[in-house]
Structure 1
C-alpha cells in the first residue's frame, strides 16, 4: 500500500523484501496497485470517498513481497510473513497465492501462527474447480477465504476445497484504484481483505489469534453452500464483535 494515500490515514511501519521501483515514497510503497486496493478494504478511513474500511481505525503495516508486476518468490513471501510475526502484529493479510506449496513458506506460516499472528489467505481464482485452494491459504495455519457475489452465492472464479474456512464478499467490490480514484474489482484477494478487517476488529477486543479464529467461525452466517465453498459461512463482522445490526 502507499505511504501517502489520503484514503489510508493509518499506515504505520513498512518493510520491503522487494523494493518499489517507480514513483516511490518509501521502499515498500505500492507500485503495482493491488496492495492499495486490498488495504483500503481493510482500513480506509471514514472520509475516503471510495469506501470505508472494515476496520477504519486499524493501523495498516505494509510488507512488500511482490514486484510492480505482482510477481515474487516464496522465499520473499515467507520472509514477509516472519517479519509480521517478529513485529508482533495481530493479523497478516495474504491476498496472493500459488498453485503449489513450499517448505520455506510452510515453516513461515507455522512460525507466525505460533507467535500469535492470525493469518488470512486468499483461496485463489481458479474456479470453477474442485480442491484447488491456493497456497499459503491451503495450509491449516491460514484462514482460507473464498469469494461470494451479491446474491450470496459462490463467485464463479473462486477456488474451492476442503481448506475453505470462511467466505466473504469478493465480486464487484469498490475500493481505491491504482490511480488514486475509485475502481471496482473482483477476486478472492478482496474477500480476504474483508475477513482480515473483521479479524482486526476481533483481535482488538483482546482475543488471541486462535480465539479470534474461533470467534469468526462461530459467528459466520451459513449461506447454505457446501463446506468446500463457504467453510463455516459468510464473515459477519458485526456478529463477531457483538454488535446488534438491528440497531443500525
Structure 2
C-alpha cells in the first residue's frame, strides 16, 4: 500500500482502535501496488478507508450502529460512489435507513454475505435491498463452506485462499465472504468510473452478465452466479479514450 492513494478516517479512540489485519487485507485487494507481492484489483483508484470498529479483549472487533452510520456519513460527504462493507451482523433499522438514503443519492453498496454457514440467519447489511450481497467460491467453483446462503445473495466471487497483504506479516492467504466482496466492489467501481452507468443500473449489469452456477438461474447459494468482467472491460476500454483502470474512483473497505 506504500505510495497508493489511501485516506484513512479513524472514528474509534486510539486506545480501542480495531486490529489492522482485516482492513489491510481488504485494502490491499482493492488498491495494492501493481508491482508489489499483493497487487490490487484497482491499483490506480483512490481508497477511503473508515475505521469504525473497536477492539475489546476476548471478542472479535465490533462496531455499533452509531459508528457505522457515522462512517457512511463521512463517505457520502467525500462523494464516495462505491462502498465496500466486508462485515456482517444483525439487522438494524437505523443503519438500513442510512443505507437507503445514501443509495437514493447514487451510492452503490457491496457487502459480504456472511460466514455463519448455510443454515444461518441472513447477514446484514448484505441482506438489505440496496446492497449487492457477495458470497465466496473456491477455484473449483465450490461455495465457501461457511458462507451464509439465502434469497438475498446476489453474486459469487473468489474468496477462498485469496493471497493478500497482512499488517503483521508481508502477505498470506485468507478465506471468507469478506474477501470476495472487493472483487464486486472493484467491478462496480469500474462501471461507475466509466460514467456510462448510473447507480441503479450497475447492480443489474453485474447480475445479468454473471456466469450461472449451481441450480439453473438465480439460487440461494450462488445468487445470479460468478462475477464476469472480461467482456465488459473490453467494452469500456473500447468506448473511452482513457481506459477505466486509469480513472479515479473512491471506494472503501469499511472492514472489521
TM-score, normalised relative to structure 2: 0.83
Shift of 1:20: 4.1
1:48 aligns with 2:36: yes
Q: Distance in 1 between matches of 2:112 and 2:192?
A: 20
Shift of 1:189: 0.3
Alpha-carbon RMSD across the aligned residues, in angstroms, is 2.0
| Structure number with higher relative contact order (C-alpha < 8 Å, ≥ 6 residues apart) | 2
**Quick one: structure 1 residues 239 and 75, their matched pair in 2 at CA, closer, same or farther if it must change by over 3 Å?**
farther
Q: Indicate the residue corresponding to 2:80 in structure 1.
A: 89
Which secondary structure does the structure 2 equivalent of 1:209 belong to?
coil
1:238 aligns with 2:226: no
Shift of 1:54: 1.6
Which secondary structure does the structure 2 equivalent of 1:242 belong to?
helix
Residues 1-248 of structure 1 mapped to structure 2, 5 A cutoff: 5-6=1-2, 9-11=4-6, 13-21=7-15, 31-49=19-37, 51-68=38-55, 69-98=60-89, 100-129=90-119, 132-206=121-195, 207-225=197-215, 227-242=219-234
Residues matched between the structures, number: 229
Q: Distance in 2 between matches of 1:20 and 1:169?
A: 33
Q: Distance in 1 between matches of 2:231 and 2:185?
A: 15
Which secondary structure does the structure 2 equivalent of 1:230 belong to?
coil
Which secondary structure does the structure 1 equivalent of 2:163 belong to?
strand
Q: Which runs of 5+ in 2 are unaligned?
A: 237-256
1:73-98 C-alpha deviation (Å, 9 max, x unpaired)? 12211221232222211110000010
Q: Distance in 1 between matches of 2:62 and 2:209?
A: 35
Task: Give the conservation status (yes or no) of the 8 Å contact 2:147–2:176.
Answer: yes
